[in-house]
Structure 1
Amino acid sequence: MVNFNGTLTENPQFSPNNRGMFYGDAVFETLRYTGDKIAFWEDHYFRLMASMRILRMQIPMHFTPEYFQDELLKLLEACDLVGSPARLRLTVIRNEGGTYLPEDKGVFYYALASKLDNAFYILNDAPYEVELYKDHYLNADLLSTLKTANKLINVTGSIFAEENGFQNCLLLNTNKSVAEALNGNLFLVKGKTIKTPPLSDGCLRGIVRKQLIEIIEKLENYTLEESPISPFELQKADELFITNTITGIQPITKYRKKSYTNTVAKDLLGKLNAKVRLG
């Protein structure tokens, strides 16, 4: 079942002139529904609106937080997922017409839902090995921080990881700094310092990244740094972990010859779950 621009349907009619397919002219949000609410909904909504403004899309007046919440709930009801944890994807695409220059800067949307196993985040402590992906580089700019439909570096990097037996890859930006993972933001722990790349390095403006920054800044025992991470720092770290909306926190267990603990990741995951419950 799909919520296609406000209409529930099992057969959405996508035009072959869809600008999302033609040019990647679309933005999206991946959301986690706990069974009674969408986690960090306000942050997701405002990120989506900001992304649309940056891409010069015309935002309809009825695109309010309440409107989208109601439409997503309609979808969950149609999929028999109300009360069950679920993954939601909300995609906004510019209307068809034009070539690179749009004829119509208006938009439409569609949303999908699928079941998740757990309402809250569970730590996965299975082996999780990563490698640097060097075939392509992220631009250290504003567009790289958005969740657009242009994710070819993530696609090709995922294929590389699968072909070489890695669970994930870390992406470098054009300054050769480590910017993020294929599917989320990166955090590095060394002693009492927790580092994450700044948005100016081109990493995704992640929702869970934002939550963890707020959590860490309140901890007396740790210092947070938003600063570039060089590839050389990876093998000196005590912990590395990846964050995203669906997984929460994914500890990295190995990078090349270096193995990592997950003590800080476990502690932060508990605090993150508490924030989901309270938020």
Structure 2
Amino acid sequence: MINFNGNIVAQDDSALTQNRAFLYGDGVFETLKIVNNKILFLEDHYFRLMASMRVVRMEIPMNFTMEYFEEQVLSLLQKKNISASARARITVFRNDGGLYLPKTNDVSYLIHATPLDSTAYALNSAEYEVDLYKDFYVTKQLLSSIKTTNKMINVTGSIFAHENGLANCILVNDTKNVVEALQGNLFMVVGKKLITPPISEGCLNGIMRKQILALAKKIEGIEVSEEIISPFDLQKADELFVTNVIMGIQPITKYRKKVFINDVAQLLIQKLNESISEN
């Protein structure tokens, strides 16, 4: 028996009592965008998921192939009658048993999906103000670069942003350098130079981050660099934008008293859509 919100119920009535992702954050996940029954950047997502499982010492089942996950995601969309565009999340968690020390490294997974309004990436030019979130810091370690089910800094940061009328917040690491935004990787444009923090600073090894870096390197006249960004550098920038797989590119319009343009972001969103239509 357990006490759930003041009611004594049978333990079997709540799967959460034994779920290690719930109890200890012992899980990893991938968020996918699917357009017309095609998972965008499938190979990148698959290999990041497998790498994340290895980092946290989960046993990878033999049937966890890229084709298997593709089939599982698309079959769910078919059952839900979602055909145009969708967001799906694959969460992999270690199986029940143990306390901090698990009794097994075997895993289970959960996939859920919701429809999206549009298929192509579109640039949202509405007001998007950000500020630093300094209550907690991102640590410069390998765990920070993968997507685990422990996202408390993103949750508390999102509450802070909401309470202060902000669209997003920028996270800093334990050496007070800029890492990323709450919902994605951060890019800064200074003149003709596109800069994003290196993975070693603690930022997520983002799938869209990888696409944007590759696309930008093909554009004549743009210098691409992965280098440390301080909070002071942000106010010297011409552009700031956030990237993730679901929204693509989100321009930041204001940081403190500085207002930004979105010229490079517009060019990159065009190149991104072109690259997807060609594949």
TM-score (normalizing by structure 1) = 0.94
Q: Which residue of 2 aligns with 1:61?
A: 62
- Partner letter of residue 175 of structure 1? T
C-alpha displacement of 1:13: 7.4
Amino acid at match of 1:78: K
In structure 1, give the amino acid aligned to 2:212: L
Q: What pairs with 1:249-264 in structure 2 (closer than 5 Å)? A: 249-264=249-264
User: Following TM superposition, by how much is the alpha carbon of 1:107 offset from its aligned partner in structure 2, in angstroms?
Assistant: 0.3
Match of 1:141 in 2: 141
Could you tell me which residue of structure 2 aligns to residue 187 of structure 1? 187
Partner of 2:8: none
The residue type paired with residue 117 of structure 2 is D
Aligned-residue sequence identity (percent) comes to 56
* Alignment check: 8 A CA contact 1:40 1:276 kept: no
Alignment-derived partner of residue 34 in structure 2: 33
Give SS of 1:105's match.
Answer: coil
Q: Say whether the 8 Å CA contact 1:94–1:108 is kept in structure 2.
A: yes
Q: How does 1:74-85 map to 2 (within 5 A)?
A: 74-81=75-82, 83-85=83-85
What is the number of residues matched between the two proteins? 267
For 1:271 and 1:106, locate their aligned partners in 2 and report how far apart those are by CA, in whole Å.
Answer: 41
Please state if 1:218 is matched with 2:218: yes
CA contact 1:94–1:105 (8 Å) conserved in 2: yes
Mapping of 1:163-242 within 5 angstroms? 163-242=163-242
Task: Output the CA distance in 1 between the equivalents of 2:218 and 2:58.
Answer: 37
Separation (CA, whole Å) in 1 of partners of 2:278 and 2:89: 23
- For the residues of structure 1 that align with 2:14 and 2:276, how far apart are their CA atoms? 36
Give the partner amino acid of 1:88.
A
Give the alignment's Cα RMSD to 1 decimal: 1.1
Matched AA of 2:127: P
- Correspondence 1:14 to 2:24: no
The 3-state SS of whatever aligns with 1:261 is coil
Deviation (angstroms), 1:36: 2.8
Q: Give the structure 1 partner of residue 47 of structure 2.
A: 46
Deviation, structure 1 residue 30:
0.5
1:122-161 to structure 2, matched below 5 A, reads 122-161=122-161
Q: Residues 37 and 74 of structure 2 are in contact (CA less than 8 Å); yes or no, is this contact kept in structure 1? A: no
Unpaired runs of 5+ residues, structure 1, are 1-11
Q: Look up the equivalent residue of 1:168 and give its one-letter code.
A: N
- Give the structure 2 partner of residue 88 of structure 1: 88
1:24 corresponding residue in structure 2: 25
